[in-house]
């Protein structure tokens, strides 16, 4: 399972059309605690930077507590969780519950994408459960770009102090 | 005529101990190539079924226990919870299952004619070594650098300490009359886009690390990259460096079928696997780790693994060793790798400290590796002929060896292009956007989205 998320490759289509609308906004790009893949993270960082976002790349194997800490400290405009190792569903559920339990992170836009289970496209129930648990966007690999683009475009502007 | 120093027959006493390395060398001596899956299931029955199927495949095989990611990062609680909840893990949780159960899984399957290797990817592998030794196993793989930098957040210094300790403990199996075998994973760094000379250098340095800590049965890995001629050059460089620097060890070379973004079509993935099998035979390599048609999508089934093993073995049986670069030819890859290895070894008499200082100084520096202990000043690119080259050498001590590098800005599209070069080449040259649309139409993947603007309670703006 060395292939990084096809989410990433699908997103490449979108890069062409974007104006640097992300200027001044911060996106946290992260993996989950047991996921060691990094090409997906490197790609997402470049991709989002080209759109003008400030990207904080937390790297591989990010423990739940670290992600929560980083979100509380940085108050990003968006968190993109990229998971490739097949534990995305299990760990995604765990981390979103942990994160949403913090009052100030209840509204933080959270997207997750990649290979969410070990069984490929047959694991379709995972997306729904992840949404119910609090993700705002779930993209399984190969799903295409349009919803992700719409999602980024509709992100609320940061409330300036 | 190629002069390949025979890697077998040096130490009869070791041969008598048998074990993983000996099995591979004996197979090679009789003209065969050992093929091996990367197989791991959380369910013990399924794991046993997989091992039996591997053993019974029409090929000379060794078995694999690939561990799950929770065990790899030492999160025993997560592994336990998943097992209790009946969730499938992405590998075999050897620590949670325990020695007794693992012995049952292996009982009657593992033996002198079917050794089994544990594969994991951990920079904190003490529990894993303890579990595999307790279960009676004596072959595994990894390395202080290759199981640390690409895979997590463990500081390199901690990984070096852990691997030194584990290697020492593992080597003591020799006192019990067994011959523990350790493989370097250094030839696979990040799977793709690391220029071959640095893969060879790290693989050799990790083999030396293991040797210094007492291991005598070793294998050095190299993962298939973007061009077969360059790969042949790299593996001959690896063999030459092993022969020069490990004259007293029993060693063999293990080739990995491509570790990067894999073709998505069955034709493409079989073609790529065939090239890997030919590469192994051409370079007198002794063992091949296969990939399957499912690789791009999910964890392969037992049947898919067996199909890949048998296909690779059939291709290998028809392939012939290459004349190619000889053991005495100073190819560009050899000169670069040798320069890197020498520079690192000269940093400190203790090889663990030498590796640490090498990364501090940027004498080793993995392109696109995000680990904090990697300097991140090097860049690579695929040239017009398909060779993987240095675009920027950062502080690597190669300035007199590598000529004409040109820094080039890497965009997300450029990175994606490089990452999917092999996939495109083997799936056919269809424009990637069209292929993705086709896939989308057929697969019915799901996507769910809610607009943040209508998210209940959303009031950020």
Mean pLDDT for chain A overall:
80
String of b and e for A67-84 (b: at least 16 CB within 10 Å)?
bbebbeeeebbbbbbbbb
Average pLDDT over residues B306-320: 96
> Between chains, do B295 and A86 touch, taking CB under 8 Å as contact?
no
Predicted interface score ipTM higher than 0.90: no
Q: Is the pLDDT of residue B416 over 90?
A: no
A8 touches chain B (CB under 8 A): yes
**Assigned fold of A22-36+44-118+126-144:** Rossmann fold (3.40.50)
Compare CB distances from B452 to A131, A140, A154 and report the shortest one's residue: A154
B324 touches chain A (CB under 8 A): no
Kindly list the residues from chain B whose CB atom is less than 8 angstroms away from the CB atom of residue A2. 191, 259-262, 295
For tokens 């080597």, name the residue: B171
CA dihedral B207, B213, B218, B219 (to 10 degrees): -30
Kindly list the residues from chain A whose CB atom is less than 8 angstroms away from the CB atom of residue B125. none
Q: What is the C-alpha separation between B289 and B276, in angstroms, rounded?
A: 9
Model confidence band, residue B428 (pLDDT cutoffs 50, 70, 90): confident
Q: What is the C-alpha separation between B442 and B266, in angstroms, rounded?
A: 15
> Between chains, do A155 and B452 touch, taking CB under 8 Å as contact?
yes
Of A38-52, B49-63, B108-122, B216-230, the least confident: A38-52
pLDDT in tens, B53-103: 999 999 999 999 999 999 999 999 999 999 999 989 989 999 999 999 999
More confident position, B134 or A2: B134
> Between chains, do A59 and B153 touch, taking CB under 8 Å as contact?
yes
> Between chains, do A3 and B70 touch, taking CB under 8 Å as contact?
no
The fraction of chain B above a pLDDT of 90, given in percent, is: 80
In A, minimum Cα distance to B71 occurs at: A34
In B, minimum Cα distance to A148 occurs at: B449
Q: Is the pLDDT of residue B433 over 60?
A: no
> Between chains, do B445 and A140 touch, taking CB under 8 Å as contact?
yes
B436 touches chain A (CB under 8 A): yes
Cβ burial, residue B456 (10 Å; 0-12/13-18/19+):
exposed
> Between chains, do B440 and A155 touch, taking CB under 8 Å as contact?
no
Average pLDDT over residues B101-128: 97
Average pLDDT over residues B214-224: 98
Average pLDDT over residues A39-62: 91
B265 touches chain A (CB under 8 A): no
* Nearest in space to B70 (alpha carbons), one of B82, B78, B59: B78
* Domains of chain B, residue spans: 15-326
Q: What is the C-alpha separation between B95 and B102, in angstroms, rounded?
A: 9
> Between chains, do B447 and A8 touch, taking CB under 8 Å as contact?
no
A25 touches chain B (CB under 8 A): no
Interface test with B, best of A14, A18, A118 (most B CBs within 10 A): A118
> Between chains, do A128 and B448 touch, taking CB under 8 Å as contact?
yes
Model confidence band, residue B432 (pLDDT cutoffs 50, 70, 90): very low
Q: What is the C-alpha separation between B187 and B220, in angstroms, rounded?
A: 7
To the nearest whole Å, the CA of B245 is away from the closest chain A CA by 31
Q: Is the pLDDT of residue A128 over 50?
A: yes
Q: Is the pLDDT of residue B12 over 80?
A: no
Helix (H, G, I), strand (E, B) or coil at B124: coil
Q: What is the C-alpha separation between B18 and B208, in angstroms, rounded?
A: 22
Residue B207: its pLDDT value, please? Answer: 98
Q: Is the pLDDT of residue A18 over 50?
A: no
The fraction of chain A above a pLDDT of 70, given in percent, is: 72
Q: Is the pLDDT of residue A140 over 70?
A: yes
> Between chains, do A156 and B461 touch, taking CB under 8 Å as contact?
yes
> Between chains, do B447 and A60 touch, taking CB under 8 Å as contact?
no
Cβ burial, residue B265 (10 Å; 0-12/13-18/19+):
middle
Kindly list the residues from chain B whose CB atom is less than 8 angstroms away from the CB atom of residue A57. 370
CB count, 10 Å around CB of B397? 19
Model confidence band, residue A157 (pLDDT cutoffs 50, 70, 90): low
A161 touches chain B (CB under 8 A): no
B339 contacts B195 by C-beta, under 8 angstroms: no
* Domains of chain A, residue spans: 22-36+44-118+126-144
B43 touches chain A (CB under 8 A): no
B59 contacts B32 by C-beta, under 8 angstroms: no
> Between chains, do A127 and B460 touch, taking CB under 8 Å as contact?
no
Nearest 5°: the CA angle B244, B248, B252 is: 75
Average pLDDT over residues B367-385: 94
Compare CB distances from A109 to B121, B452, B459 and report the shortest one's residue: B452
Q: Is the pLDDT of residue B324 over 70?
A: no
A101 touches chain B (CB under 8 A): no
More confident position, B260 or B431: B260
Model confidence band, residue B402 (pLDDT cutoffs 50, 70, 90): very high
To the nearest whole Å, the CA of B376 is away from the closest chain A CA by 12
In A, minimum Cα distance to B370 occurs at: A59
> Between chains, do B260 and A2 touch, taking CB under 8 Å as contact?
yes
pLDDT in tens, B173-182: 999 999 999 9
A132 touches chain B (CB under 8 A): no
Give bridge partners of residue B356 from the DSSP assignment.
none
pLDDT in tens, B238-280: 999 999 999 999 999 999 999 998 998 999 999 999 999 999 9
- How far does CA B338 lie from the centroid of its chain? 21
Query: 3-class secondary structure for B174-205?
Result: HHHCCCCEEEECHHHCCCCCCCHHHHHHHHHH
Q: Is the pLDDT of residue A23 over 80?
A: no
> Which CATH number does B15-326 carry?
3.20.20.240
Interface of B with A in 197-226 (CB under 8 A): none
Residue B275: its pLDDT value, please? Answer: 97
Give bridge partners of residue B287 from the DSSP assignment.
B34, B254
Average pLDDT over residues B309-326: 88
CB count, 10 Å around CB of B247? 10
Q: What's the predicted TM-score (pTM) here?
A: 0.86
To the nearest whole Å, the CA of B1 is away from the closest chain A CA by 37
Residue B325: its pLDDT value, please? Answer: 66
Nearest 5°: the CA angle A79, A67, B296 is: 65
Q: Is the pLDDT of residue A12 over 60?
A: no
Interface test with B, best of A37, A42, A64, A75 (most B CBs within 10 A): A42
Mean pLDDT for chain B overall:
89
Kindly list the residues from chain B whose CB atom is less than 8 angstroms away from the CB atom of residue A136. 449-452, 455
Residue B321: its pLDDT value, please? Answer: 86
């Amino acid at each position: 399972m060395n292939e990084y998320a096809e989410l990433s490759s699908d997103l490449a289509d979108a890069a062409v059309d974007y104006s640097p609308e992300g200027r001044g906004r911060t996106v946290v790009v992260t993996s989950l605690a047991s996921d060691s893949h990094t090409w997906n993270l490197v790609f997402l960082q470049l991709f989002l930077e080209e759109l003008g976002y400030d990207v904080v790349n937390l790297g591989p194997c990010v423990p739940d507590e670290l992600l929560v800490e980083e979100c509380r400290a940085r108050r990003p405009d968006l968190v993109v969780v990229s998971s490739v190792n097949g534990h995305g569903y299990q760990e995604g559920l765990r981390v979103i519950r942990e994160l949403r339990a913090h009052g100030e992170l209840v509204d933080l836009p959270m997207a997750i994408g990649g290979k969410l289970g070990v069984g490929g496209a047959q694991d379709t129930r995972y997306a729904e459960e992840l949404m119910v648990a609090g993700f705002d966007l779930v993209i399984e690999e190969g799903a295409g770009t349009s919803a992700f683009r719409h999602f980024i475009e509709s992100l609320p502007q940061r409330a300036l102090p | 005529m190629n002069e390949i120093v025979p890697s077998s027959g040096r130490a009869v006493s070791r041969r008598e101990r048998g074990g993983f390395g000996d099995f591979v060398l004996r197979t090679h001596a009789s003209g065969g190539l050992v093929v091996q899956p990367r197989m791991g299931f959380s369910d013990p029955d399924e794991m046993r079924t997989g091992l039996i199927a591997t053993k019974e495949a029409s090929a000379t095989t060794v078995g694999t226990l690939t561990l799950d990611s929770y065990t790899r990062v030492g999160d025993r609680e997560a592994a336990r919870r998943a097992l209790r909840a009946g969730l499938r893990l992405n590998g075999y949780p050897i620590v949670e299952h325990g020695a007794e159960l693992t012995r049952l899984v292996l009982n009657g399957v593992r033996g002198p004619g079917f050794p089994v290797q544990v594969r994991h990817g951990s920079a904190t592998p003490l529990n894993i070594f303890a579990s595999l030794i307790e279960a009676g196993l004596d072959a595994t793989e990894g390395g202080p650098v290759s199981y640390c930098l690409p895979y997590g957040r463990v500081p390199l210094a901690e990984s070096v300490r852990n691997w030194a300790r584990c290697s020492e403990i593992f080597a003591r199996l020799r006192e019990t009359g067994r011959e523990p075998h350790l493989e370097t994973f250094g030839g696979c760094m990040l799977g793709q886009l690391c220029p071959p000379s640095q893969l060879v250098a790290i693989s050799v340095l990790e083999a030396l690390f293991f040797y210094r800590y007492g291991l005598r049965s070793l294998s050095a890995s190299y993962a298939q990259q973007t061009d077969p001629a360059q790969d042949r050059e790299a593996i001959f460089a690896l063999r030459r460096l092993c022969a020069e620097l490990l004259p007293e060890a029993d060693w063999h070379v293990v080739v990995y079928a491509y570790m990067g973004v894999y073709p998505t079509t069955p034709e493409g993935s079989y073609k790529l696997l065939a090239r890997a099998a030919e590469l192994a035979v051409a370079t007198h390599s002794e063992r091949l780790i296969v990939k399957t048609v499912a690789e791009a999508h999910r964890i392969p089934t037992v049947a898919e693994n067996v199909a890949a093993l048998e296909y690779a073995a059939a291709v290998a049986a028809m392939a012939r060793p290459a004349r190619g670069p000889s053991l005495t030819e100073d190819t560009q890859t050899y000169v670069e790798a040798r320069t890197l290895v020498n520079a690192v070894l000269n940093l400190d008499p203790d090889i663990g400290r030498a590796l640490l200082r090498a990364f501090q100084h940027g004498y080793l520096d993995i392109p696109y590796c995000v680990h904090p202990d990697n300097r991140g000043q090097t860049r690579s690119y695929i040239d017009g002929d398909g060779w993987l080259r240095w675009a920027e050498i950062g502080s690597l001590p190669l300035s007199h060896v590598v000529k004409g590098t040109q820094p080039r800005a890497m965009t997300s599209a450029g990175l994606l292009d490089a990452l999917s070069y092999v996939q495109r080449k083997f799936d056919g040259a269809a424009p990637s956007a069209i292929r993705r649309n086709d896939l989308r139409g057929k697969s019915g993947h799901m996507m769910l989205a809610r607009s943040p603007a209508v998210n209940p309670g959303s009031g950020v703006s």
